[in-house]
Amino acid sequence: MKTSRKTIRPSWRKLLAKEKFLQLPAAHDALTAKIIESTGFKAYQVGGFALDGARFALPDIDLTHLGEKSQVVREIMAACDLPVLVDCDDGYGDVKNVTYTIRLYEEMGVSAAFIEDQQAPKRCGHMAKKRVIEAKEMAMKLGWTT
């Protein structure tokens, strides 16, 4: 089992500049990531629904947070050397939590991340009745304004 080696993944920016279209299949576990890599995809993503759906047979409805999700992401990344886009839910709080989340994922070698602008408790993107925060609040969470 690969767990401690440092992988140099291709740069996300270079990958996007080189690829006209980029398909990102979702990996919910290490085996899926290996299959994605072996079939020739250039990158993949780890989403909340993929993780929670595979573990609990439920949509991504705020059941799991950074601690649980980052551990699974670490295990998946240990099996696959491709660049990875990771779902960071709503960043798990305010600007200090978002900063911690991004720094943790950077340290792990995550290539790209996305953060949703939903009010807590968040709901899976395809579900109805989602509520979003104001643009100014989201900008503050990302550290863009004070």
Q: How far apart are CA 87 and CA 73, in angstroms?
A: 10
Residue 11, token pair as written in the block: 């740069």
- b/e sequence 87-107, b meaning 16+ C-beta within 10 Å: bbbbbbeebebbeebbebbee
CB atoms within 10 A of CB 130: 14
124 is catalytic: yes
Among candidate residues 15, 63, 124, 140, the one labeled active-site is 124
Upper half-sphere CA count for residue 121 (Cβ side, 13 Å) = 8
Catalytic residues: 124
